């Protein structure tokens, strides 16, 4: 190979190598740690540690609730001197029948004098103007609806519970306990009252625990989910297992802890799995323990036995496939075993698929 050609080919390589060596000596290629973009959950946990510290110092933070109460009942609790348990039920605006059923059964104000129990309904918004107008009219009659200014969807359930915590913290100072429940449960308000009274006696009124059916070491549903709404990506939750948490259909919180949990929460983008977020992630960070009494929060076919109403079950989650009217029959049996009569349960009709329950006749 001619010398001139060799120089033309080799010289650029030599010069490039020399330049690289010089830059290396200057530290240009030293490894610099690249900031890791944390997941939304990681960001939330950093904010949580800050906010939890603020809450523990008994500070009074500004009202940073990012939504508006389109319908509000600010005097609902203060007007009830005998209120011991406030129950907020997350329900869609179009689920009027669910609200009517609860008002007619365990949510009826008739029972407050013996149970200290009252219910409000938390709803979001919908694009259906007719439904929105109907909710307004219903609210004017019953004065028990709280409507918040975000779209009512499954993914916004965490925001709905956040709204319930904020509403209780701001407008409901007098109850001792808060029950968060779904619309498809039956609440034995009498057994609940008895249990909480005994709990206070055993603990000298310290009220430092969540009371619920606790779930342990469950893995997030990543791909093969029975329902897509339960699917959680690694970006949403970058851990193989959830912390222990209270099963979502119903859990009980001491009123004194509601504000602490609310102030520690991400107000705009909380983790979608509502029960995991509030009773698992936040509760653990805040040092709030859980009292698990799973036998009082059943969801199994055996719970449909008629004898269930004579046991210590407090909250029964209804399988959506059991048929219309099941909750009315269960409530009727609860009243019967407590020695009460309720005319609203006298004429029950419907098709029932619940083994072990008495017939409608």
Of the listed ranges 44-53, 276-285, 338-347, the one predicted with least confidence: 44-53
pLDDT band at 329 (very low <50, low <70, confident <90, very high): confident
Confirm if 88 and 119 have CB atoms less than 8 A apart. Answer: yes
pLDDT per residue over 122-173, tens digit each? Answer: 999 999 999 999 999 999 999 999 999 999 999 999 999 999 999 999 999 9
- Residue 266 lies inside a defined structural domain of this protein: yes
Give burial (CB, 10 Å; 0-12/13-18/19+) of 88.
buried
Of the listed ranges 82-96, 198-212, 277-291, the one predicted with least confidence: 198-212
- Residue 310 lies inside a defined structural domain of this protein: no
- Residue 328 lies inside a defined structural domain of this protein: no
Long-range Cβ contact pairs of 152-158 (< 8 A, separation 24 or more):
152/92, 152/93, 152/123, 152/124, 152/125, 152/126, 153/124, 154/229, 155/229, 155/272, 156/124, 157/90, 157/272, 157/274, 158/270, 158/271, 158/272, 158/273, 158/274, 158/277, 158/278
CA angle 139, 144, 150 (to 5 degrees): 75
pLDDT per residue over 79-101, tens digit each? Answer: 998 999 999 999 999 999 999 99
Residue of higher predicted confidence among 40 and 108: 108
pLDDT band at 324 (very low <50, low <70, confident <90, very high): low
Question: What pLDDT, on the 0 to 100 scale, is given for residue 120?
Answer: 98
CATH number at residue 65: 3.90.550
Question: What pLDDT, on the 0 to 100 scale, is given for residue 136?
Answer: 98
Confirm if 120 and 153 have CB atoms less than 8 A apart. Answer: no
pLDDT per residue over 35-67, tens digit each? Answer: 222 333 443 444 444 444 333 333 334 458 999
Percent of the chain exceeding pLDDT 90 equals 56
pLDDT per residue over 255-266, tens digit each? Answer: 999 999 999 999
Question: What pLDDT, on the 0 to 100 scale, is given for residue 319?
Answer: 67
Which residue segment(s) compose the domain that 95 sits in?
40-222+230-300
Alpha carbon distance 139, 128 (integer Å): 17
Question: What pLDDT, on the 0 to 100 scale, is given for residue 107?
Answer: 95
pLDDT at 352 > cutoff 50: no
- Residue 12 lies inside a defined structural domain of this protein: no
Q: Residue 165: name the closest of 279, 13, 27, 314 by CA.
A: 279
- Residue 306 lies inside a defined structural domain of this protein: no
pLDDT at 20 > cutoff 60: no
Question: What pLDDT, on the 0 to 100 scale, is given for residue 57?
Answer: 32
**For the chain, what is the mean pLDDT?**
79
- Residue 92 lies inside a defined structural domain of this protein: yes
Which residues face 71 on adjacent strands?
A: 147
Question: What pLDDT, on the 0 to 100 scale, is given for residue 282?
Answer: 96
pLDDT per residue over 171-191, tens digit each? Answer: 999 999 999 999 989 999 999
- Residue 318 lies inside a defined structural domain of this protein: no
Question: What pLDDT, on the 0 to 100 scale, is given for residue 68?
Answer: 96
pLDDT at 308 > cutoff 80: no
- Residue 73 lies inside a defined structural domain of this protein: yes
Alpha carbon distance 335, 315 (integer Å): 15
Q: Residue 328: name the closest of 144, 155, 101, 126 by CA.
A: 101
Alpha carbon distance 281, 277 (integer Å): 5
Question: What pLDDT, on the 0 to 100 scale, is given for residue 34?
Answer: 25
- pTM for the full model? 0.77
Question: What pLDDT, on the 0 to 100 scale, is given for residue 97?
Answer: 95
CA angle 273, 221, 48 (to 5 degrees): 35
Of the listed ranges 212-216, 303-307, 338-342, 357-361, the one predicted with least confidence: 357-361
Domain count, the chain: 1
């Amino acid at each position: 190979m001619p010398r001139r050609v060799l120089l033309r080919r080799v010289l650029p390589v030599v010069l490039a190598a020399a330049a690289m060596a010089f830059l290396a000596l200057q530290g240009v290629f030293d490894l610099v740690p690249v900031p890791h973009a944390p997941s939304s959950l990681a960001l939330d946990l950093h904010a949580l540690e800050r906010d939890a510290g603020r809450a523990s110092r008994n500070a009074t933070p500004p009202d940073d609730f990012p939504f508006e109460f389109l319908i509000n009942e600010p005097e609902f609790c203060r007007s009830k001197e005998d209120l011991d348990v406030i129950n907020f039920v997350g329900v869609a605006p179009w689920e009027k029948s669910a609200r009517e059923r609860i008002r007619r059964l365990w949510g009826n104000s008739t029972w407050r004098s013996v149970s200290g129990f009252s219910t409000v309904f938390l709803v979001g918004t919908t694009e259906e103007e007719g439904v929105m107008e109907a909710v307004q009219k219903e609210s004017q009659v019953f004065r028990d609806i709280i409507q918040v200014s975000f779209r009512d969807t499954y993914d916004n359930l965490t925001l709905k519970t956040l709204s319930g915590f904020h509403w209780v913290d701001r407008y409901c100072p007098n109850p001792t306990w808060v029950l968060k429940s779904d619309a498809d449960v039956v609440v034995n308000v009498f057994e609940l009252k008895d249990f909480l009274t005994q709990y206070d006696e055993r603990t000298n009124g310290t009220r430092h625990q969540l009371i619920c059916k606790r779930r342990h070491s469950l893995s997030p549903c990543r791909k093969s989910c029975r329902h897509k709404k339960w699917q959680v990506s690694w970006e949403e939750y970058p851990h193989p297992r959830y912390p222990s948490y209270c099963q979502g259909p119903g859990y009980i919180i001491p009123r004194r802890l509601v504000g602490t949990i609310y102030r520690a929460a991400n107000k705009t983008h909380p983790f979608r799995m509502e029960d995991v977020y509030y009773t698992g992630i936040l509760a653990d960070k805040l040092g709030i323990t859980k009292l698990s009494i799973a036998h009082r929060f059943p969801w199994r076919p055996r719970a449909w036995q008629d004898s269930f109403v004579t046991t210590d079950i407090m909250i029964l989650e209804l399988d959506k496939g059991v048929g219309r009217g099941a909750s009315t029959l269960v409530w009727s049996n609860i009243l019967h075993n407590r020695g009460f009569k309720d005319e609203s349960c006298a004429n029950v009709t419907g098709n029932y698929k619940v083994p072990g329950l008495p017939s409608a006749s």
